[in-house]
Structure 1
Amino acid sequence: MKIATVLGARPQFIKAAPVSRVLRKQYTEVLIHTGQHYDPNMSAIFFEELNIPTPDYYLGVGSGSHGKQTGEMLMKIEEIVMQEKPDYVLVYGDTNSTLAGALVAAKLHIPVIHVEAGLRSFNKQMPEEINRIMTDHVSELLFCPTETAVENLRKENITRNVWNVGDVMYDAILYNKELAQRQSTILADLSLAEQSYYLITIHRAENTDDPDKLKAILAAFRDIDGTKVWPIHPRTRHKLEEYGLDASAIPGLRLIDPVGYLDMLRLESGAKKIITDSGGVQKEAYFLRVPCVTVREQTEWVETLEGGANILTGTDREKIVAAVHKEVAPVYVDVFGDGHAAEKIVAAIGQR
């Protein structure tokens, strides 16, 4: 059996690592990297650290408008898939790479495997929400990370070939967190002590494409006491420059370049709280038992909200500051599987 895997963004590299490790023991995998994330710190270092095989194809699509980026992916992926003739096309998550891979396969009548199916924020202003919905509705095999995701699909009348296998990012955390503890020197490099800083990640289009929202977020950072470490996404850095906003002038805020997966895990596990708009970072915070403040109005990871582990604030300055300064004693529940999602996915594919 031959499976073509399409990926292109940091969270997908993390998800693909445990699945590819198991998949390649039994089947042939053709890896197609769209180049959606092309900065070395957002791409190449992840392949190296996570021991992901070198992509068979690198499309170099890069950034651009949703239409331009997705359209270029569609053309290039279609050409490869027609040449390779895989039995399945496997996609992860909710990026433009996800949608492009799924649409190409569906139109060529090749079954689509969607890992991380069934997630819903119920906000169609988010491009990721559109990508999720469309991908789920053309997929043949749907692997969900939680029972909530299974229920979301059921409400959309998708019940065939749906499995709750747990979260592959949990697989990755369990596999790599001790390695990060041993190998990463990021805290020493930045002269940071455990629990002495807040970790920030902000990159969502809904926040960065709106100058008023980005200004409000920066205003909140100005009002948060203490050290704040921000590995800044290239797109976010560009938006700050475009709007003439100087984040470097905020007291206690340390802007650093994007970091690799092991360094990011170490920064996350050592933080006293994480401030993010990333879906993946919300989960990583939950898995690492670090309180999280999510700068969005909704989250697809509703399970993280229970027990106070994650607080939604939107971009309201006062809400962000209050949530960050609030003393919390979160309750964590094991709702993301047992760390063996990859094995369950490959076993289910083998039963087809």
Structure 2
Amino acid sequence: MPKFTIVAGARPNFMKIAPIIHAFQRQKKAGIEVGYRLVHTGQHYDKKMSGDFFEQLSIPEPDANLGGGGGTQAEQTAAIMVAFEKELMENRPNLVIVVGDVTSTLACSIAAKKLQIDVAHVEGGIRSGDLSMPEEINRMVTDSITDHFFTTSEIANVNLRKAGVPEERIHFVGNTMIDTLMAQLPNFRKPQGEMFNHLRPGNYFVMTMHRPANVDQEHSLKAMIDAILEGIGGLSIVFPVHPRTAKNLQNLGINAANLLLCEPLGYLEFNYLVKNAKGVITDSGGVTEETSVMDVPCITLRDNTERPETTLLGTNELVGTDPKKLKPYLDKIMKGEWKHYQGIPFWDGKTADRIVDTLIKTYS
């Protein structure tokens, strides 16, 4: 019987592993002999960042929690590697499945390969070309030692071929985040709280910003927020905000009545707001995938993206980090002149089944 270990650690991972676990569960119900363990590295360890996701996405409690949160990136990587090596020595699988591009992805790939255990990378081949992003280093190192690449786009396939990866190791399957989105769409729910009561569909914006380049430089943060508030014509903008960023905003004296700051939201609540928003302003890669499939206008405050398919076939526009460039894009959204989603191949809600089918055939 083939045995697989599925790794998750940070908030973006949970949306990506949920459909894979559900696909394994379906195989077992169908009488296929397969074993899997879910290992939570503990990279994100507070309730809002991980606990809610297990409940909302129907993910079973992990078989192991490595408690690898906190510290610098190097300390976190080392703690996860040490704990995951021990986990693998006690419960050796045929293959380790890692997803995305977080610290856990890198650390667990290295630990597995040093024990001569195969690695499958879900979202392999993604590149931004920006080595100032820790995620780009995580992607490059993970892909350099991966055995099976499960890719989200033809662009990722091309990146891998250019790196010399043999065709038989590249599996173009689609996007498991979209599996989760499609499965959970009927369950989206309005967040509770007075600030959300007056929001009407198509009459507010949603913003997420977390990259240090955008939130840690107080002068540029103020300039960006001012440009956004000026461009949205008095509409409300919901900003689920990290405590550090909230403090920066407070220090800057930014206190507009239509800037609605809230704590990070659960998956169902956040995507309810996104689905019904007039537009989204973000510096996150994953949000651009969800806005595209839900056909919601999306502005990305970055100079590059590891998901160019969202700009080519989706609703995403790469605007950069200069606040002066924002106005024409916001004007387009306000006038209802934004481009629409054209459909991205295999982003159809069936990606996880394709992944699990491939793994069971390969390792049975």
Q: TM-score, normalised by structure 1?
A: 0.92
Q: Distance in 2 between matches of 1:63 and 1:247?
A: 30
Match in the other structure for 1:86: 93
Contact 1:221-1:250 at 8 Å conserved across structures: no
> What is the aligned residue count?
346
Contact 1:228 1:253 in 2 (8 A): yes
- Which is further off, 242-251 or 194-203? 242-251
CA pair 263-134 structure 1, distance change in 2 beyond 3 A = same
Matches of 1:37 and 1:205, distance apart in 2: 18
Q: Does 1:260 align with 2:266?
A: yes
Compared CA separation, residues 5 and 206, structure 1 to 2 (3 A): farther
Q: 1:285 to 1:36 in 2, by over 3 A?
A: same
Query: Which of the numbers 319, 333, 357 marks the counterpart of 1:347?
Result: 357
Equivalent residue for 2:46?
Answer: 39
The CA RMSD over aligned residues, in Å, is 1.9
Aligned partner of 1:52: which letter? I
8 Å CA contact 2:309–2:344 kept in 1: the answer is yes
Summarize the Cα distance change of 1:214–1:63 in structure 2 as closer, same or farther, 3 Å threshold. farther
Partner residue of 1:176 out of 184, 208, 215: 184
1:322 to partner: Cα distance: 3.2
Alignment of 1:193-342 (within 5 A): 193-224=200-231, 225=233, 226-232=235-241, 234=242, 237-241=243-247, 245-246=251-252, 249-306=255-312, 309-327=315-333, 328-337=337-346, 338-342=348-352
Deviation sequence 1:222-248 (CA, Å, 0-9, x none): 42332110111x3xx214536863475
Matched AA of 1:347: D
Q: Tell me, yes or no, if structure 1 residue 96 matches structure 2 residue 103.
A: yes
Q: State whether residues 218 and 252 of structure 2, in contact with CA within 8 Å, keep that contact through their aligned partners in structure 1.
A: no
SS at match of 2:7: strand
| TM-score normalised per structure 2 | 0.90
Gaps of 5+ in 2: 29-33
Question: Identity over aligned residues, as a percent?
Answer: 37
Check whether the contact 1:5–1:91 (CA below 8 A) recurs between aligned residues. Answer: yes
Q: Which residue of 2 aligns with 1:154?
A: 161
Output the CA distance in 2 between the equivalents of 1:150 and 1:326. 33
Deviates more, 1:119-128 or 1:202-211: 202-211
C-alpha distance after superposition, 1:283-320 (max 9, x if no partner): 00001100000011011111111267211122211223
Give the match's secondary structure for 1:326: helix
Residues 138-195 of structure 1: CA deviation (Å, up to 9, x unaligned): 1111000111111111111112411110111111111111221xxx132785111111
Given that residues 154 and 172 in structure 2 are in contact (C-alpha distance below 8 angstroms), is that contact kept between their aligned partners in structure 1? yes
Report the Cα distance in structure 2 between the residues aligned to 1:240 and 1:74, rounded to whole angstroms.
33
| 2:148 counterpart residue number | 141
Q: In structure 1, how many angstroms separate the alpha carbons of the residues matched to 2:295 and 2:131? A: 30
